[in-house]
Amino acid sequence: MDIFQVVALGIVASVALLLIRKERPEISLGLSLVVGVMLFLVILPRLRSVVAVFGTLASESGVEPLYFGIILKVLAISYIADLGASICRDAGEEMVASRVEMAGKILILVSALPIVQEVLNVIRALMS
């Protein structure tokens, strides 16, 4: 069971962080980044099987593979941007964190542009 692993890791890391946060806040930032990445790495293989199932579903239902790729890309961008923004916010850099989030949103918008174009084309075809 992965949940035991995750919870144990979280508890151990919290105790260690509590120990060093007051003395060495800069090293505790690195430690919290390591813990966040590790928890993500524990859960990523599960996510991989979910992505595989949805991929077969999408290809069976005839969705264009390009669109499924865009959805995966948006998911990856949002996860990574969230991780980076949380680390920046942890360090007390609110401004950097919000810029990271803004960059993530803009990159998601850019990746979603083909879908927006397709929707507009459909609407135009319906109107005429």
84: closest CA among 32, 41, 47?
32
Q: How far is the CB of 103 from another protein (least distance, A)?
A: 16
Q: Nearer Cβ to another protein, position 53 or 119? A: 53
Cα–Cα distance, 125 to 113 (Å, whole number): 18
- Binding string, 67-106, against another protein, x = CB under 8 A? --x--xx-xx--xx--------------------------
Cα–Cα distance, 77 to 89 (Å, whole number): 18
Site for another protein in 28-57 (CB under 8 A): 28, 30-31, 33-35, 37-38, 40-42, 44, 47-48, 51
33: closest CA among 87, 76, 85, 80?
87
Helices 25-60 and 2-21: crossing angle, nearest 10°?
Answer: 160
Give the CA distances from residue 84 to residues 16, 21, 44, 89, in Å, rounded to whole numbers and listed in that order: 21, 19, 17, 9
Site for another protein in 1-30 (CB under 8 A): 5, 9, 12-13, 16, 19-20, 23-24, 26-28, 30
- Name the residues that contact another protein, by CB under 8 A: 5, 9, 12-13, 16, 19-20, 23-24, 26-28, 30-31, 33-35, 37-38, 40-42, 44, 47-48, 51, 69, 72-73, 75-76, 79-80
